[in-house]
Structure 1
Amino acid sequence: MQAEYLKRQPVVMRILTQSITENRLGHAYIFEGARGIGKREVASWLTKAQFCMQASPENRVCNKCVNCRRIEESNHPDVHFVEPDGASIKTQQIKDLRQAFVKRGMESDKKIIIIDQAEKMTAKSANSLLKFIEEPEAEVLIVFLTTAVQRLLPTIQSRCQLLTFQPLATEVLVRELETQGISEARGRVVAHLTQSSSEAIEMAQDEWFVEARKHVVQLYGYLRVADPMALIYIQTDWIGHFKEKNNTQLGLDLLLALYEDKLHLQLVSEQPLICMQQEKMLKQDALNTKLLTTTYEIEQILTAKKRIEANVGAQLAMEELVLTFVAIKN
């Protein structure tokens, strides 16, 4: 586990491991980064490291002892986990936490509190928690997990040590997906769309996504030769599959990946292709298309994404995009 997290988040893990080794762990941390990037897993590891009964300098968490297992099962009396109740973390939830602060640990002097989606604390609940951070008890550790650190009260931010979780390296995520039986070809596509391993696995195994990818490749096939059938395809096939706004945005992200690959081939980049299965076609297109044209095509896809985000109708935005692409080559 420790080696795995070191590979995924080397900077964060080295800071925490060194702090544990030197007995100077802080009393409050903010783990900041994208959803699904490993913040909760590292917080669990850090918690286990405080209670593990078989810890060693080489491996701070055995993951086998009674304490490690109870923490894994959310069943340790001195570990408290808080997440939003509905749309927010409410004042009553923080009041319940305050009781945990004023009492001694049931089995030790250590108490650990993990607050997930901490940006969803109401102003009242955040202020209620603030004085406990200002006057920490020696054996209390608080970890805030957030995707939007700027939404936390500045007074809370100033009293915590901020650890920023970096996006997973594409190669790390692709290899992780391979261990789940997902091919490298499909893994590279989903790794381009999300940094969350759980989301990537779900996406790669989703039949809707598999069909979406086929639709995008078909559309690209029309666009690369300026076939007017592209417009009919949007009206008869595309809209039927990409029904929601977020679906259309995902479709455009998949289309964008093909054009980014073509651009990298034109630039003779050593970056691995996102769309490995279309390599032969993309290499041919890279030779037959001007670099300026490819950059213009990418700009048009990005413009379409912005228009849809601004609530322009998805079908209208896609039809105009297709007409622009056809006009480029005619």
Structure 2
Amino acid sequence: MKSWTDLAYKQPVAVEMLKQMLIRNRTAHAYLIHGDSGAGKEEIGHLLAKSLFCKERVGENPCEKCKDCLRINSGNHPDVHWIKPDGSSIKKEQIAHLQKEFTYTGLESNQKAYLISQADQMTMNAANRLLKFLEEPNRQTTAILMTENSQNILDTIKSRCQVIALKPLSPLIIQQELEASDVIADNARLFAVLTNNLEAAKALDQDEWFAQARKLVVQLISTLQTKQDETLWFIQKQWMDHFSNRDQLEMGLDLLMYWFKDLIYLHIDQQAAIVFRAYLSELEKGRWVWSRKDTTEILYAIMEAKRHIAQNVHPTLVMEQLTLQMQR
């Protein structure tokens, strides 16, 4: 990302807030940027660092040509330090080393910045050491902390930071990002409605378990339409074997829910909203099996099944009851 405009489509509120701070020269000494994986935390942190150091900045945007911009882009700026987990955590020694680095005079100026990825992974000793660092702010030092789990950040650290909350990505943005990553358009559309986490959506494209789950949904629909007397056997022998825990079963129910929502879209002539576009011919067959009223009742039944699963009702009983309701 080369400008704040490039990021505005993904996080318009956060970007506008930071742009105004930069334009008015009212930046904070510490930021806590939190949001889901793929929401743009590191892109925003990286761009903020460039905007702070660039001496040829045009408005809020770094020039991308000066030596500060080029060195930050390459990860070699002597006064911009990135800290990431060493193994499973960020350790006290990493923060201590950072503090030592910041006692030295800057090579270009006295301005310095440090960015901490996955800040929630700091050990308690590391967090307490960072807190002492934040308690003695230097006007020429900027801290940029990034995390998916802001609730795991010490309240005393949060209170010393300007908190920037990133919104979950919209399905359309996730779909566009997936397609830009060479995910097939029909798959990207489905993944984008199943999760608002970009990295989780990308993972679905490589997940063999999910590929089989989608096939089982299509097979269940086919069995309901043509071999109703085999449906309970299918649930017991194939469905429950694959969807073997609560999270997996919830995913299966979500897939069923989007399938029947697509049937509603067909009934009301809103094909552009369909998610399972790769199975349009199968959906067309379903339109003649389930009326709009039937489909609406099935959607309510699926939502009730999801509630029962959340309440730890026996999953096989939940699916058998749902199957009987879908057969009517």
Residue 211 of structure 1: how far off its partner (Å)? 3.4
Residue 280 of structure 1 corresponds to 284
Q: Decide which of 288, 300, 303 is 2:305's aligned counterpart.
A: 300
* Deviation sequence 1:78-110 (CA, Å, 0-9, x none): 111122223322211211121133222233322
What residue is the counterpart of 2:147 in the other structure?
Answer: 146
Which residue identity does 1:323 align to in structure 2? Answer: E
Which one is further off, 93-102 or 242-251? Answer: 242-251
CA distance in 1, matches of 2:216, 2:26: 54
Q: Distance in 1 between matches of 2:210 and 2:11?
A: 28
Give 1:153 deviation, angstroms.
1.3
1:139 CA drift (Å) = 1.1
Instruction: Tell me how far 1:242 sits from its aligned partner.
Output: 5.0
* Residue aligned with 1:30, SS: strand
Q: What residue number does 2:30 align with?
A: 28
Amino acid at match of 1:227: Q
Q: Which range is displaced more, 47-56 or 163-172?
A: 47-56
- Distance in 1 (CA, whole Å) between partners of 2:235 and 2:46 is 47
Shift of 1:29: 0.8
Moved more, 104-113 or 64-73: 64-73
Q: Which residue of 2 aligns with 1:90?
A: 91
Distance 1:233 1:164, change over 3 A: same
User: Greater CA deviation, 37-46 or 200-209?
Assistant: 200-209
Rounded Cα–Cα distance in structure 2 between residues aligned with 1:42 and 1:84: 19
| Aligned-partner Cα distance in 2 for 1:61–1:295 | 54
- The answer on 1:320 being equivalent to 2:317 is yes
The letter for the 2-side match of 1:294 is L
Q: Structure 1 CA distance, aligned partners of 2:62 and 2:286? A: 48
Matched, 1:125 2:126: yes
Q: CA deviation at 1:155?
A: 1.2
Residue ranges of structure 2 left out of the alignment (5+ in a row): none
| Alignment match, 2:223 | 222
* Equivalent residue runs for 1:29-108 within 5 Å: 29-52=31-54, 54-57=56-59, 59-62=61-64, 64-108=65-109
2:25 and 2:146 map into 1 onto residues whose CA distance is 23
Query: For structure 1, which runs of at least 5 residues remain unmatched after alignment?
Result: none
Q: C-alpha separation between the residues in 1 aligned to 2:252 and 2:89?
A: 31
Match for residue 291 of structure 1?
296
Q: Does the 8 Å CA contact 1:261/1:282 hold for their aligned counterparts?
A: no
Q: Find the aligned partners of 2:156 and 2:270 in 1 and give their Cα distance.
A: 46
Query: Which shows bigger deviation, 222-231 or 152-161?
Result: 222-231
Aligned in 2, Cα 1:139/1:281: closer, same or farther, shift over 3 Å? farther
The corresponding residue for 1:109 is 110
TM-score calculated relative to the size of structure 2: 0.83
Q: Residues 162 and 58 from structure 1, CA distance in 2 versus in 1: closer, same or farther, beyond 3 angstroms? A: closer
> 1:269 and 1:303, CA in 2 relative to 1: closer, same or farther beyond 3 A?
farther
Q: Which amino acid aligns with 2:273?
A: P
Conservation of the 8 A alpha-carbon contact between 2:225 and 2:286: no
Match of residue 183 from structure 2: 182
Q: Contact 1:47/1:112 (CA < 8 Å) preserved in 2?
A: yes
Q: Which amino acid aligns with 1:218?
A: Q
Gap change, CA 1:293 and 1:134, over 3 Å in 2: same
In structure 2, relative to structure 1, the CA distance for the partners of 1:265 and 1:154 (3 Å cut) is: farther
1:261 Cα deviation (Å)? 4.2
